[in-house]
């Protein structure tokens, strides 16, 4: 089989998939990544995650997946490698994830049971470690072929935009990474005043919207803050917004932070704007409901006036 499009990306790894199927084989395929020249099957699966250099596939499965993405993330998608099985409104897009985030993300699937914006039988997925995606020129069970929308010979794989990465991080269960090679903490005198002002403004906005964050969100806020002003200043600053429940808990949490894998202020900014958008939508929904009730009341009053005029 002609794999010329796949041969141009040497960092990608693959697995065997039988013709007309999506399921890889044999057992343990995740632990046996193959180069494209070693694939022996009729179909081919592209391994995702660090095995292929930090490759994530955004899987749009149906029309409501696209509307969900626009409403929930609202980020312009850059040109990148894309392929499809040929079904309407369905495709996958490949992006690279910066290495410092590899330990913080995992496969996430959004379906109707998780978000009612998604229609039953459709969905959106961040496909990562432990997943593989069947790619062209593989065939479907009915004989149709997977096809490239934009092949690796036509375009480069783009880096995942910050806005999308930040949203993905909010879905995941961030894992504490013990820093075995700590760097020297930031000197308070070296902190830029404008950066400090910007950071405190973002934290205040988040505090207004998330007064009691769950553990994962709390940890991400703490790590992102420390990436900007260092652990010592962050511990003091964070306690002014979300007081410690146990003395020294910020110091203990931040001691486990790996600076090379820490989220940044961009992640906090996305969190703040996302929460503000959610609050705005809730207020708008209440307003719309009240408006409908007023209109209905006006209709009833008008009908009663008309009835009186007839008599």
Question: How confident is the model over 167-194, as pLDDT tens digits?
Answer: 888 775 434 333 434 444 565 556 677 7
Q: Is the pLDDT of residue 51 over 90?
A: yes
Do residues 136 and 83 lie in contact, with contact meaning Cβ atoms separated by under 8 Å?
yes
- 258, burial (CB in 10 Å: exposed 0-12, middle 13-18, buried 19+): middle
Question: How confident is the model over 3-21, as pLDDT tens digits?
Answer: 889 999 999 999 999 999 9
Question: How confident is the model over 134-174, as pLDDT tens digits?
Answer: 999 999 999 899 999 999 999 999 999 988 988 888 775 43
Question: How confident is the model over 244-268, as pLDDT tens digits?
Answer: 877 778 888 888 787 777 777 777 8
Do residues 42 and 145 lie in contact, with contact meaning Cβ atoms separated by under 8 Å?
no
Closest CA to 186 of 225, 151, 232, 154: 232
Domain boundaries, the chain: 4-160, 173-311
Residue 233: pLDDT band by 50, 70, 90 thresholds? confident
DSSP string, 241-275: HS--SSTTHHHHHHHT--GGG---HHHHHHHHHHH
Residues 187-203 have a mean pLDDT of 76
Q: Is the pLDDT of residue 220 over 70?
A: yes
């Amino acid at each position: 089989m002609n794999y010329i499009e796949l041969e141009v990306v040497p960092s990608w790894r693959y697995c065997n998939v039988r013709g007309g199927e999506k399921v890889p084989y044999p057992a343990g395929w995740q632990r046996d990544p193959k180069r494209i020249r070693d694939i022996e099957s009729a179909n081919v699966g592209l391994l995702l995650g660090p095995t292929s250099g930090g490759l994530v596939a955004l899987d749009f499965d149906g029309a409501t997946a696209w509307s969900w993405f626009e409403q929930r993330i609202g980020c312009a998608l850059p040109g990148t490698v894309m392929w499809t099985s040929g079904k309407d409104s369905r495709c996958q897009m490949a992006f690279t994830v910066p290495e410092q985030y590899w330990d913080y993300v995992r496969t996430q699937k959004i379906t109707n049971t998780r978000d009612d914006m998604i229609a039953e039988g459709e969905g959106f997925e961040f496909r990562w470690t432990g997943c593989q995606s069947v790619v062209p020129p593989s065939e479907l069970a009915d004989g149709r072929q997977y096809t490239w929308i934009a092949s690796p010979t036509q375009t480069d794989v783009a880096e995942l935009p910050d806005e999308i990465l930040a949203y993905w991080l909010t879905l995941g269960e961030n894992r504490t990474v013990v820093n075995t090679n700590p760097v020297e903490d930031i000197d308070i005198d070296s902190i830029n005043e404008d950066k400090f002002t910007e950071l405190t403004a973002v934290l205040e906005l988040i505090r207004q919207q998330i007064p009691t964050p769950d553990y994962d969100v709390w940890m991400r806020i703490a790590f992102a803050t420390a990436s900007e002003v260092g652990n010592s200043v962050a511990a003091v600053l964070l306690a002014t917004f979300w007081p410690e429940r146990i003395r020294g808990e910020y110091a203990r949490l931040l001691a486990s932070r790996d600076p090379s894998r820490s989220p940044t202020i961009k992640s906090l900014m996305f969190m703040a704007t996302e929460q503000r958008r959610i609050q705005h939508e809730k207020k708008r929904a209440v307003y719309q409901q009240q408006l409908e009730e007023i209109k209905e009341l006006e209709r009833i009053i008008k009908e009663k006036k008309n009835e009186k005029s007839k008599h």
